Amino acid sequence: MRARAPASSANLGPGFDTLALALDRYVEVDVEPASRLIVRSEGEGAGVADDSSHLAARVAIDVAGTDRLAISVRSQIPLARGLGSSAALAVAAAAAAGATDPLAVAASVDGHADNAAASAVGGLVAAAWVRGAVRVVRLPLDVGLAFVVIVPEVALSTSRARQALPAAVGRDSAAFNLSRMALLLAGLADSRLLLPEATEDRLHQDYRSPLFPAAPKLLASLVTGGALASCWSGAGPSLLGICLGIDAHRVEDAANAALAEADVPGQVLVLHADHDGLIVDRDGSAGLYDDH
């Protein structure tokens, strides 16, 4: 069986551990019965761990209840860059192995519901654990928006990024984030309402900046280049510019210039929202990965 799941960008500034957006970069997983465990990988992360330690193998073995599987992974999603690669892989692997609820499996493995929910459902989502289960709500998203992503050649694990965060936050900071999240949701639903201030945050972005010191200037360059707002993508170090589709290539040019000026190796991607989420092909005949 074959399954495909999209990348995602979580937090989106103030929506810490709550909001996520599915983006049109994909990971595809094939799982078939075999006489022994076989793991193959192509694309991003190829050859890093083609054995039982591979996340896709761990998820598939747990779901199938056996390690007599042939598992193939093809990915377009950069690893450890804040684009939900682990969550997307877990969703796709669980589905390809026959899980009845791939989102529940992936959220448990990944530890967070936001990225997994976006990869499973698609579009802009709010996700939360409610009475032991993941609850997901699709939110309105302006179809005219595009997303310019700065992807530095610097890996940053979610666990390391979380270690930079304070153990507690004040009431003023919590209220600040709630106000900005309200502005953000309004602006994502109707781009005419989106303000640069909508992605401001006092819970995580500033605390993570020392892990990627170029981030503040690169974020500013996205806005000066034409983005309506900018923020960290998940735990970073990727940075997300939210812009009108007609302005995407102008923002892309500004981002590339800013990377060069900062002497930061990396790439700039122009992406769009994925509205399909997880797609499962039970006979494995469709070229899901090659469609995009």
CATH number for the domain spanning 119: value is 3.30.230.10
* Residue 291 pLDDT greater than 70, yes or no: no
| Residue 31 domain boundaries | 2-140
Q: What is the pLDDT of residue 287?
A: 56
Domain count, the chain: 2
pLDDT of residue 289: 54
- Reported as a single tens digit per residue, the pLDDT across 150-205 is 999 987 677 776 787 777 888 999 999 999 999 999 999 999 999 999 999 998 88
The pLDDT mean for the chain works out to 93
**Shared domain check, 180 and 136:** no
DSSP state of 104: H
Question: What pLDDT, in 10s, does the model give residues 52-99?
Answer: 999 999 999 999 999 999 999 999 999 989 999 999 999 999 999 999
Beta strands 124-130; 133-139: pairing state? antiparallel
209 CB contacts (<8 Å, ≥6 apart)?
215, 216
pLDDT greater than 60 at residue 125: yes
Task: Tell how far CA 40 is from the center of its chain.
Answer: 23
Across 98-114, average pLDDT: 91
Look-up of token digits 């083609």: 50
- Asked if 135 and 229 sit in the same domain, the reply is no
CA distance from start to end of the chain: 19
* Same domain, yes or no: 246 and 135: no
Which pTM was predicted? 0.92
Residues 269-282 pLDDT 10s:
999 999 999 999 97
* 292 — pLDDT class (breaks 50, 70, 90): very low
At 139 the pLDDT is 98
